[in-house]
Amino acid sequence: FSASVAAVLAAGEFDRVLGSLHSIEHDGDLVFVDAQLFGTLPARDVVQRYFAELLRLVEGSAVFSVLAHCDYPRRCWPVASAGEYREADFEGEYRAVFRVLASSGRALEVNTASPLVSVDLLKWWRQEGGEAVSFGSDAHDSLLVGNGFTAAVDIAEAAGFRCGHDRFDFWRR
């Protein structure tokens, strides 16, 4: 992927580049973290494998300035078979990623799409050295841009982050 990413980045000017992970390796194939994968593997295994790959992404790539939706697997978490998704069950995994991300000076995205990141998760980010957050609506439809922004701001503020110097700046601790 690195060659295709480099080609895209070389093709234009970007204000901000986000890094994200949607797939993991399973049986030698790259597969989306989705309901089908959760139906194939135990839920906890899917999330732990996701975080292991996310850690490799953060450690191995410096082309992005913001890590987007670090809790991506929760979108497809199988509540019926695994119960409610609890961030605390994966606190160690979150913190390991946050530690490396913070040490590189990058920011963490507060995704305004449902489900929202929690105050606890952003507090872990701060405790691991995270200095900044960015907001993203992850909108795949123009009508959804900015959806949930007010709640996301409340969460960021409750975790101790404040508005930057201008509307384009990261929110900082």
Rounded mean pLDDT, 59-70: 96
Fold for 17-172, please state it: TIM Barrel (3.20.20)
Q: How far is CA 57 from CA 21, 140, 160, in A?
A: 8, 23, 27
Angle (CA) 145 169 108, round 5°: 70
Burial of 41 (0-12, 13-18, 19+ CB in 10 A): middle
- Entry pTM: 0.94
Domain borders along the chain are 17-172
> What was the pLDDT predicted at 170?
96
Each residue of 106-160: pLDDT tens digit?
Answer: 999 998 886 678 999 999 999 999 999 999 988 888 888 888 899 999 999 999 9
Q: What is the pLDDT of residues 28-57, one digit of tens each?
A: 999 999 999 999 999 999 999 999 999 999
Three-state SS for 104?
A: coil
Q: What is the mean pLDDT of residues 96-108?
A: 99
Measure Cα distances from 39 to 45, 72, 166 in Å.
11, 16, 45
Cβ 102 vs Cβ 113: under 8 Å: no
8 Å CB contact between 17 and 9: yes
